[in-house]
Amino acid sequence: MFLVVGEAVLDVVAGGVEPPSSHVGGSPLNVAVGLARLGLPVTLVTRYGTDPAGDQVHARLQAEGIAEVVPRDQLPTSAAHGVLDPAGAADYDFDQVEWDLSGFSGEIAHEAVEAAHVVHAGSLASVLEPGAETVLHIVEDARPHASVSFDPNVRPRLNPDRAAARENVERYVRLADVVRASESDLSWLYPDRRAERTATEWMEMGPSLVVVSSGSGEIVGYTRQGVARVAALQTDVEDSVGAGDSAMAAILAALEERSLLGPDRRDQLKGISVATVREVLDFAARAAAITVSRSGPNPPTRKELDVR
């Protein structure tokens, strides 16, 4: 089972000639949807309310076949407003973000963590209290029996303390087997150095694979064996919302297909070849290209990716 931990958010996105549109998002939820569409069993640890926005979140998870283990609560469902720039990237303001995982407890929580083969975490959920402490404990408890992936998905407006954000990110990097980050994440966290230096230093902290996506669309994978680079695929861009999350899901799916995930495969993942990483990143680039070609966080299915 893939256990994804993180926020569910109702995004309202404006920009271009179309009227504002709303869609269910949140980076971890998008990753969970991406994994489910690629045929992997997914459980999402998140929270949302009983309000109309929460109804939309619930309907999306049900439609995608994603299991849930946290009951809906009486807090408002988290919401964000995004504005698309000319390149289709969204700049978000968060009007309300509630992140409390007190509903994830007891035997159900224990069983969910114990059943995990892979745990993915990151984004707002890893920094916003009171839920962030629970997220860290889930990752720590799962790591002995599960692979860990992490995507910081930095949001400076909600977490403007750069030093504290950097310390928190590095805490997760030390626990992770696979890390994905955007070049903009790294330039904000470490404004005085290049992304490749950060990726190399993160590798020294423990991960076997660090993937960095650039503004130009190139995806770069850093391993102990060397560096793999895959160019972005040319496509008509509707918007780039959820593209990185689609890539993250595709990376995990590709590694799983190659039997490189799970605690008993850590040595194999550490020895992953540059050629294999290039295959994994090519799969991720194709997933991202399909996602940007349509509106909102709408990752591809396995069938769509298998069609060349």
pLDDT band at 102 (very low <50, low <70, confident <90, very high): very high
| Separation between Cα atoms, residue 303 and residue 115, nearest integer Å | 28
Q: Which amino acid does the sequence have at 295? A: S
* pLDDT at position 88 over 60: no
Lowest mean pLDDT among 89-103, 203-217, 288-302: 89-103
pLDDT at 16 over 60: no
Least confident of 91-95, 258-262, 300-304: 91-95
Q: How high is the pLDDT of residue 276?
A: 98
Name the β-bridge partners of 287.
none
Average pLDDT, the chain: 91
At residue 93, does pLDDT exceed 80? no
Q: Is the pLDDT of residue 296 over 70?
A: yes
In percent, the amount of the chain with pLDDT more than 90 equals 78
Question: What's the pLDDT at 295?
Answer: 80
pLDDT for 221-240, tens place per residue? 999 999 999 998 888 777 77
**Residue 294 pLDDT more than 80?**
yes
Least reliable range by pLDDT among 5-19, 82-96, 101-115, 264-278: 82-96
DSSP state letters, 12-80: EEEETTEEEEEEEE-HHHHHHHHHHHTT--EEEE---BSSHHHHHHHHHHHHHT-EE-S--BSSPPPEE
Report how far residue 183's alpha carbon sits from residue 189's, in angstroms, rounded to the nearest whole number: 10
- Residue 60 has a pLDDT of 97
Strands 2-5 and 67-68: unpaired
pLDDT tens by residue, 208-218:
999 999 866 78
Task: Find the mean pLDDT for residues 189-209.
Answer: 95
Give Cα 65 distance to the centre of its chain.
18
Residue 141 has pLDDT above 80, yes or no: yes
pLDDT of residue 114: 96
Taking the model in full, what pTM does it have?
0.93
The answer to whether residues 22 and 138 touch, using CB atoms and an 8 Å cutoff, is no
Average pLDDT of span 21-45: 95
Structure confidence at residue 215 (pLDDT): 63
Task: Report, as an integer, the average pLDDT of 288-305.
Answer: 90
